[in-house]
């Protein structure tokens, strides 16, 4: 089922799946919001009742895993076995649920019917009140949530973020979701329920424009381009995020060290000045420079750690 804060794009995302199942034409998907069935829902543009639909889908096989198993077989055996088709048929019973807090009972009822919940998140808005509520409801009902970071197009077209800033925003959204999970899940289940790109429990995309990917999708793309393992993509990603974290830590440590040195020298100067009187001219100039340096470092520290830049 799809669960989320109101307007984060559940019904639009359902349209994309309907189109994929051949039940809706491409030009109508996105704007049609087919699962908002009754007149009031259409008029008000919000989902009121949970609606379910059965979707016959051809889903992609995990080619990288097939590839690994094939490679372990001998060449003679491989020549006898028919290559596995790239897709397999699946019947998906999808439930689109309302996001408004007044209709939370519909979400609980739907959660009791489903095997899994896709928590949809507007990439630019992040975790909001109902996101937290649906995550708590899913955990309470024993349903494992996965995450779809939606409306990623807005990061590009509206917020005009650079690729790195957009990736940072997505990573922060994932961290916020995991913080909520850690708040509500029993301590022994936190690791199992937490979501991550590396594990394939986070998808990223745009329901309106009908595209999205998980790390596994990227791995398949890499596989088709001749790169054989999902680990390649995962390790690449992990290295990038840990390098960014290390850079931030080093920068903070250097600023903290500079501040401490300046603060120490400035305090010594003030004490010396109060005790002995005006010191030698050069010493006074040098110490004033340290005081100035201290003030500049403090301002830089403030700017670097202000919420808009973090």
Ligand X SMILES: Nc1nc2c(ncn2[C@@H]2O[C@H](COP(=O)(O)OP(=O)(O)O)[C@@H](O)[C@H]2O)c(=O)[nH]1
Angle in degrees, 0-180, between the axes of helices 129-140 and 104-113, rounded to the nearest 10: 40
CB of 264 to ligand X, least distance (A): 52
For 108-132, letters b (16+ CB in 10 Å) and e give eebbeebeebbbbbbbbebbbebbb
Map the footprint of ligand X across residues 134-153, applying CB under 6 A.
150-151, 153
153 binds, among ligand X, Mg ion, none (CB under 5 to 8 A by kind): ligand X
Enumerate residues 19-58 that contact ligand X by CB under 6 A: 33, 46-47
What is residue 277's DSSP assignment?
Answer: -
Residue labelled with tokens 């094939």:
70
Of 6-25, binders to Mg ion (CB under 5 A) are 10-11
Closer residue to ligand X (CB): 3 or 230: 3
| By the rule CB under 5 A, 47 interacts with Mg ion | yes
Instruction: Build a one-symbol-per-residue string for 87-126: x at contacts with ligand X by CB under 6 A, - elsewhere.
Output: ------------x---------------------------
Closest CA to 152 of 120, 115, 181: 120
Q: Please give, one letter per residue, the 3-state secondary structure of 68-89.
A: HHHHHCCHHHHHHCCCCCCEEE
Rule CB under 6 A: say whether 8 interacts with ligand X.
yes
How many residues sit in the footprint of Mg ion (CB under 5 A)?
3
Residue 8 β-bridge partners: none
**Residue 277: count of CB within 10 angstroms of its CB:** 7
User: 7 or 216, CB closer to Mg ion?
Assistant: 7
- By CB under 5 A, name the binding residues for Mg ion: 10-11, 47
């Amino acid at each position: 089922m799809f669960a989320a804060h109101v307007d984060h794009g559940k019904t639009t995302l359902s349209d994309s799946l309907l189109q994929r199942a051949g039940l809706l034409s491409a030009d109508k998907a996105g704007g049609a919001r087919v699962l908002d069935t009754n007149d009031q829902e259409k008029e008000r543009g919000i989902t009121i009742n949970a609606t379910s639909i059965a979707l016959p889908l051809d889903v992609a096989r995990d080619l990288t895993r097939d590839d690994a198993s094939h490679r372990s077989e001998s060449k003679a055996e491989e020549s006898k076995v028919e290559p596995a088709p790239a897709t397999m048929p699946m019947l998906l019973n999808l439930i689109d649920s309302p996001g408004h807090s007044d209709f939370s009972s519909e979400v609980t009822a739907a959660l009791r019917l489903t095997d899994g919940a896709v928590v949809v998140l507007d990439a630019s808005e992040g975790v909001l009140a109902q996101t937290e509520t649906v995550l708590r409801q899913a955990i309470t009902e024993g349903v494992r949530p996965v995450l779809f970071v939606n409306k990623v197009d807005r990061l590009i077209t509206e917020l005009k973020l650079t690729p790195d800033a957009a990736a940072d925003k997505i990573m922060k959204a994932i961290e916020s979701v995991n913080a909520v999970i850690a708040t509500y899940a029993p301590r022994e289940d936190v690791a199992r329920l937490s979501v991550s790109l590396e594990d394939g429990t986070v998808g990223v995309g745009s329901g309106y424009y009908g595209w999205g990917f998980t790390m596994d999708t990227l791995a398949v793309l890499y596989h088709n381009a001749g790169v054989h393992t999902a680990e390649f993509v995962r390790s690449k990603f992990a290295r990038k995020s840990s390098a960014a974290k290390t850079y931030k830590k080093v920068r903070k440590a250097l600023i903290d060290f500079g501040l401490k040195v300046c603060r120490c020298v400035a305090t010594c100067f003030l004490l010396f000045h109060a005790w002995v009187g005006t010191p030698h001219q050069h010493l006074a100039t040098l110490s004033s420079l340290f005081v100035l340096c201290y003030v500049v470092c403090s301002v830089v520290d403030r700017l670097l750690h202000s919420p808009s830049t973090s």
